[in-house]
Amino acid sequence: MSLNKQMHERNPYKSNPPDFKQLAIEFEEFRKFCTLGPNGKTPFQVTINFQDDDAVRCLSRVLLKRDFNLNVDLPKGSLVPRIPQKINYVLHIDDLIKKNDLESNDKGPIYGIDIGTGASCIYALLGSRLCDWNMLATDADQFAVQVATANVLKNQLANKIRIAHVDASQKAILLDVVKHHEDIKFTFCMCNPPFFESHETSKRFKEQESGVFCNKLMDYDEKRPAPKSATIARSNELQVEGGELAFVNRIIDDSIILQDKILIYTSMLGKKQSVVPLKKRLERLMGVRFAVSTLNQGKTQRWVLAWTFRHDIIVDIEANPTTHSLSTAGMMDPRAWVIDQLARLNMKKSEQHDTLLFDARQITWRSEKQRKDSLRKLFDEPPHKRARMNTVDASCSTDLGEGDGLDSYTDAGNVNIVEAESSEDGRSRVVAIQAYFPVPKDKMFLLRVAVRFPSATNTVDFELVSGPPKYFHQLVQYIRTRLPKNYETNGTSLNGRPKSDKKFRPPHDRYYGNNWRW
């Protein structure tokens, strides 16, 4: 089943798929790959053979030329970017930028990193053309770097795109490049990682010539149907030690050190089974918010993992805001009342335009017994397990701070960064040391709530900005119970205490003033 209907809303190919007949008229180089043949319900249409790598490459080239004014060399033997799919990822990042209002003029230009840009340099080129991003595009392959650099120059985009050749033998993927551009505040990073491990490549691909692989179209031995289109790629584009799971875990490792030096970290994932372990890894990291979205095109589905260390950045595009509205009819000063209630809960207040923001780092709205019960439960559980990616014998000592396992939602005892001398080769390495305590989950969170007072509705509106929805609902429920109960309003006056409610206590005069009579 085609997933084209679920393509990104703004993808120009969603409602206007490439018209091969038109392309054949416009581009002579494309014409030679076209044939008249049956296509879906239409008996005769101009089409191309998607199993012919040259035809697919030519299609991508002419689409880039016609629709984006990009003149891109896509060398034979290298991965051919499928343009509609590439646009989906670029637009997804653009959505994240827009949702977080990161492109307003006062915030300066957008800087992004494309990890593993490939010979086509496709994301950087499209990002610059479509969204005016400034891109730092990296690759560990010398050939890819050469061709990508030529592609940038050919399109006069050297002022927008910088290509960096990185060292594949380094475990860190982002640390060095970010360190070398310390003056730049990166808005995002993106990545289409090599998906496979070497044993998977040999199962799915056959080596055509040295270092160049072609996917098996005919003798596909798995239960799934053989792919309909040819994929020819160099080994560095297909495989990496540990596959995409290890690669993206390495980006997460770097992000732990870099924190908000990059506002939004993202990576595409080609395999569904990578999603859960990566989500679990991010779940264990303190202060990290993440989301997984899908990208659909043709018969292909991909996933984008996005995470941030900033609690004011939204990474979940699809999520609807979680809100609650409480009536404040009859209250003289609902704003002061709400501020007072939340201050009693030790929530920290800040203001943004017409919105009040309240941060809670502890759950202060549950009864002592409820809190003790949940702490007991958590301490009975085994400490959170941690995936160990690699070990480096760095013979160093470090101060892990004062963390006592109870209040380590602060930095103390959790993440420490030290410069250490490696005992093996004497090279200096940056080592991130994380100490994980069996920290009660209750204490590992930051809940941020936006509070508004729309004058037209006589309500106080609560919106979850970040943090677990469960605690947000609890908090609002608690505030609801603090609201004076059982008052009625007929639009002109409050008629006070219902006779049946013996426990009813009058609210504080300060907030209800003389409107409240009984």
Ligand X SMILES: C[S@@+](CC[C@H](N)C(=O)[O-])C[C@H]1O[C@@H](n2cnc3c(N)ncnc32)[C@H](O)[C@@H]1O
CB of 115 to ligand X, least distance (A): 5
Minimum distance of ligand X from residue 190's CB (angstroms): 9
Closer by beta carbon to ligand X, 118 or else 334: 118
Phi, psi for residue 170 in degrees, rounded to 5: -75, 140
Q: Whose Cβ is closer to ligand X: residue 237's or residue 359's?
A: 237
Specify the residue, 47 or 236, whose C-beta has the smaller distance to ligand X.
236
The DSSP call for residue 186 is: E
Q: Could you tell me which of 224, 295, 228, 309 has the C-alpha nearest to residue 264?
A: 309
- Alpha carbon separation from 343 to 340, 463, 467 (Å, rounded): 5, 17, 19
Sign of CA dihedral 477, 481, 484, 485: positive
Query: Does 116 belong to an annotated binding site?
Result: yes
User: d(Cα 90, Cα 268) in Å, to the nearest integer?
Assistant: 11
- Residue 235 CB, nearest approach to ligand X (Å): 9
User: 85 vs 466, which CB is nearer to ligand X?
Assistant: 85
Binding site for ligand X (CB under 6 A): 79, 81, 115-118, 120, 122-123, 138-141, 144, 166, 168, 173, 192-194, 236-237, 240
Q: At closest approach, how far in Å is the CB of 451 from ligand X? A: 43
Minimum distance from CB of 267 to ligand X (Å)? 11
Cα–Cα distance list, 468 to 67, 287, 308, 438, 476 (Å): 43, 11, 15, 19, 13
| Dist. CA 21–CA 99, nearest whole Å | 38
**Token digits of residue 364:** 């202060």
At its nearest, how many Å lie between ligand X and the CB of residue 295? 12
Residues facing 138 on adjacent strands: 115, 164
Among residues 19 and 241, whose Cβ is nearest to ligand X?
A: 241
In angstroms, what is the minimal distance from the CB of 163 to ligand X?
11
Using alpha carbons, select from 265, 218, 216, 223 the residue that is nearest to residue 238. Answer: 216
Q: What angle do CA 252, 254, 259 make, to 5 degrees?
A: 90
Which structure tokens are listed for 219? Answer: 């003798």
Contact 53, 80 (CB under 8 A): yes
> Closest distance between ligand X and the C-beta of residue 126, in Å?
10
How far apart, in whole angstroms, are the C-alpha atoms of residue 278 and residue 268? 12
Long-range interactions of 474-481: CB distance < 8 A, separation 24+: 474/363, 474/365, 474/366, 475/345, 475/360, 475/365, 475/447, 475/449, 476/324, 476/326, 478/345, 478/365, 478/366, 479/326, 479/338, 479/341, 479/342, 480/326
To ligand X, the closest distance from the beta carbon of 291 in angstroms equals: 21
To the question of whether residue 4 is assigned a binding role by annotation, the answer is no
Nearer to ligand X, 122 or 315 (CB): 122
Cβ proximity to ligand X: between 127 and 194 the closer is: 194
Residue nearest to ligand X (CB): 116
Q: What is the DSSP string of 348-375?
A: EEEEETTEEEEEESS--SS-HHHHHHHH
> Over the Cα atoms of the chain, what is R_g?
28
- Three-class SS state of 38: strand
In the complex, the smallest distance separating the C-beta of residue 90 from ligand X, rounded to whole angstroms, is 11
CB 162, CB 137: distance < 8 Å: yes
CB of 406 to ligand X, least distance (A): 39
3-state SS assignment for residue 6: helix
- The residue (of 163 and 460) whose beta carbon lies closer to ligand X is 163
CA distance 23 to 34: 10
Q: Which is nearer to ligand X, 250 or 324 (CB)?
A: 250
Q: Which residue from 208, 169, 175, 209 is spatially nearest to 189, judged by alpha carbons? A: 175
Q: Give the span between the Cα atoms of 349 and 320, in whole angstroms.
A: 24
Nearer to ligand X, 214 or 446 (CB): 214
CB 171 within 8 A of CB 256: no
What residues form the annotated binding site for S-adenosyl-L-methionine?
86, 116, 139, 192
What residues form the annotated binding site?
86, 116, 139, 192
